[in-house]
C-alpha cells in the first residue's frame, strides 16, 4: 500500500496547482512581454563577452561582488534610476533579487507580521494582495482616480485609523503605470502622499516595475527621489523592460533597511549568469531597447482599444493606459468576470478577472485585466472578438441586433 504523503502536509497550504497544459490560443494574462522584442542576438554577444572576461567568478557565491548582487549590474541600476527617475542612489543602496516578487517577499518579511495593517490602491497587483492575505495582514483599499490614489480619501482613511489607534506599516503604491489601471501619479500628488505619510508616521513601499514603459517616454520623479525622510522603499524589475523569464529585479533602500533585507534573503544570491548578461547588455543598449519597446507596446495598446471598441462598443469601459502591457476594462453589472473567465478559458481565451486584482473582490466583480504585451496584433484582434462572442453567449453582452451574424 502506498504511503499517503499528503497526511504529512502542514495545515493552511494553498490549493494544489494544476498541471500546466501550455498557453491558451489567446493569452491576455500574466506579465508576458513582446516575444519579437527580446534582444536575442545582443544577448548572445553579451553572454560570450562577459563569460570570457569574468566567467571564472561563477565559482564563487556572489561573483566576487558580495551578497547584494553583481557589482556592474548594481552600478547600472543605480545610474539608470538616477538618470531616469531623479533618484540619488549608490551601488550600496541596491539589492538584486529574483524578480519583483522576491522584493515583495523580502520587504514584507522585514516589515509585516500577522494583524498588521497596510494600505494599497483599491485595484492592485494580485501578487501583492495574495501575499498580504497569506501573511494575515489587513489590507485597506484606497480609491483610485485618473491620476492614482485620491489623496482626499487617503487622508480620511489615515485619520480614521489614527482615531482607532492604528498606524499602517506602509502604503503600497504603483505610482507609474499603475497595475492594473495604467494611470500615472503626477509629481504634485506624490509630494502630497509623502506629506500624508509624514503626518501619520508611516512608510511607503513604491513598486515601480512598469515606470520605464510610459508610451510618451516621460515619467515623473520617483516618490523615493522626492523623499527627504528615508520613509520610501523602492523596487523595480527587468521583467517588463527586458524579459520576464530572466527573473531579475531590484530593491533600492538605505542601509538601515538594506541590512535587514540581506538578513532575510536566505537563497545564497539570485541567478548570477542572468545578472552578468544583463549588466553587459544594458550598459550599451538599455535606452535604445526601451525606446523601441515603448513604441511596440503602444501599437498593441491601440490595437486592443480598437478591438474593444469594435467588438464590445459602449459595453466595455476603460481608461486609455499611459503605458505598460495591460488595460483595465469594466463591463456592465450583469457580467461576472469570474464566470466569464471560466467560460473563456474553456474556449481558449485567458483573462484576469477583476475580483482577483481588487482589495475588496466585490468591487472588481465586473472588471477584467487584459494583458496585451505578448499576443501579436492579429491575436489581439481575434482574441478580443472571440471574447466578445463568449461574453454575448454567456451574458447577452454586448447586445447585438438579430440580423448581425458572427
What are the sequence ranges of the domains in the chain?
23-39+287-395, 40-285
β-strand pairing of 170-173 with 203-207: parallel
Q: Check whether the bond before 132 is cis (ω within 30° of 0).
A: no
| Through-space distance between the first and last CA atoms of the chain, rounded to whole angstroms | 55
Residue 405: the pLDDT is 46
- List phi, psi (to 5°) of 140: -105, 140
Q: Measure the CA–CA gap between 192 and 306, rounded to whole angstroms.
A: 36
Q: Where are the alpha helices (DSSP H) in 55-186?
A: 71-85, 99-111, 126-135, 151-163
Q: Measure the CA–CA gap between 354 and 363, rounded to whole angstroms.
A: 8
Residue 402: the pLDDT is 53
- Range 23-39+287-395 classified under CATH 3.90.180.10: no
Residue 1: the pLDDT is 82
- List phi, psi (to 5°) of 136: 75, 30
Residue 401: the pLDDT is 65
Rg of the chain (C-alpha set): 22
Q: Measure the CA–CA gap between 244 and 45, rounded to whole angstroms.
A: 20
Q: Measure the CA–CA gap between 291 and 365, rounded to whole angstroms.
A: 35
- Range 40-285 classified under CATH 3.40.640.10: yes
Q: Measure the CA–CA gap between 184 and 322, rounded to whole angstroms.
A: 7
Helix (H) or strand (E) holding 26: strand 26-27
From first to last of its 406 residues, what are the pLDDT tens digits of the chain?
Answer: 899 999 999 998 888 998 998 999 999 998 999 999 999 999 999 999 999 999 999 999 988 999 999 999 999 999 999 999 999 999 999 999 999 999 999 999 999 999 999 999 999 999 999 999 999 999 999 999 999 999 999 999 999 999 999 999 999 999 999 999 999 999 999 999 999 999 999 999 999 999 999 999 999 999 999 999 999 999 999 999 999 999 999 999 999 999 999 999 999 999 999 999 999 999 999 999 999 999 999 999 999 999 999 999 999 999 999 999 999 999 999 999 999 999 999 999 999 999 999 999 999 999 999 999 999 999 999 999 999 999 999 999 999 865 444 4
- Return the residue matching grid coordinates 512598469: 210
Nearest-CA neighbor of 406 among 283, 310, 341? Answer: 310
The reply to whether 23-39+287-395 and 40-285 are identical in fold is no
Residue 403: the pLDDT is 45
- Return the residue matching grid coordinates 485620491: 150
Q: Measure the CA–CA gap between 64 and 46, rounded to whole angstroms.
A: 19
Name the pTM for this structure: 0.95
Amino acid at each position: 500500500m502506498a504511503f499517503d504523503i499528503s497526511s504529512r502536509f502542514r495545515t493552511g497550504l494553498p490549493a494544489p496547482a494544476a498541471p500546466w497544459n501550455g498557453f491558451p490560443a489567446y493569452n491576455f494574462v500574466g506579465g508576458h512581454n513582446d516575444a519579437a522584442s527580446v534582444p536575442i542576438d545582443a544577448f548572445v554577444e553579451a553572454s560570450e563577452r562577459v563569460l570570457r572576461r569574468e566567467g571564472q567568478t561563477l565559482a564563487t557565491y556572489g561573483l566576487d561582488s558580495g551578497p547584494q548582487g553583481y557589482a556592474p549590474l548594481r552600478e547600472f541600476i543605480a545610474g539608470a534610476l538616477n538618470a531616469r527617475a531623479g533618484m540619488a542612489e549608490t551601488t550600496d543602496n541596491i539589492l538584486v533579487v529574483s524578480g519583483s516578487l522576491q522584493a515583495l517577499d523580502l520587504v514584507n518579511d522585514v516589515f509585516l507580521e500577522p494583524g498588521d495593517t497596510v494600505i494599497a490602491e483599491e485595484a492592485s497587483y494580485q501578487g501583492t494582495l495574495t501575499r498580504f492575505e497569506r501573511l494575515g495582514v489587513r489590507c485597506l483599499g484606497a480609491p483610485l482616480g485618473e491620476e492614482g490614489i485620491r489623496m482626499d480619501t487617503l487622508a480620511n482613511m489615515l485619520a480614521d485609523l489614527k482615531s482607532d489607534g492604528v498606524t499602517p506599516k506602509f502604503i503600497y503604491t504603483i505610482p507609474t503605470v499603475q497595475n492594473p489601471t495604467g494611470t500615472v501619479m503626477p509629481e504634485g500628488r506624490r509630494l502630497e502622499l509623502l506629506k500624508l505619510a509624514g503626518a501619520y508616521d508611516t512608510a511607503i513601499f513604491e513598486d515601480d516595475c512598469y515606470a520605464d514603459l510610459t508610451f510618451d517616454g516621460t515619467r515623473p520623479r520617483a516618490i523615493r527621489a522626492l523623499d527627504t525622510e528615508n520613509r520610501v522603499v523602492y523596487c523595480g524589475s527587468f521583467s517588463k523592460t527586458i524579459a520576464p523569464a530572466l527573473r531579475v529585479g531590484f530593491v533600492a533602500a538605505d542601509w538601515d533597511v538594506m541590512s535587514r533585507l540581506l538578513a532575510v534573503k536566505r537563497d545564497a544570491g539570485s541567478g548570477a549568469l542572468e545578472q552578468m548578461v544583463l549588466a553587459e547588455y544594458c550598459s550599451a543598449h538599455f535606452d535604445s531597447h526601451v525606446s523601441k519597446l515603448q513604441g511596440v507596446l503602444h501599437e498593441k495598446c491601440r490595437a486592443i482599444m480598437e478591438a474593444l471598441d469594435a467588438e464590445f462598443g459602449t459595453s466595455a469601459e476603460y481608461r486609455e493606459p499611459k503605458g505598460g502591457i495591460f488595460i483595465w476594462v469594466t463591463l456592465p453589472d450583469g457580467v461576472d468576470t469570474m464566470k466569464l473567465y471560466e467560460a473563456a478559458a474553456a474556449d481558449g481565451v485567458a483573462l484576469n478577472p477583476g475580483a482577483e486584482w481588487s482589495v475588496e473582490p466585490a468591487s472588481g466583480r465586473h472588471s477584467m485585466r487584459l494583458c496585451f504585451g505578448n499576443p501579436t496584433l492579429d491575436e489581439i484582434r481575434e482574441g478580443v472578438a472571440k471574447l466578445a462572442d463568449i461574453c454575448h453567449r454567456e451574458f447577452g453582452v454586448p447586445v447585438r441586433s438579430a440580423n448581425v451574424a458572427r
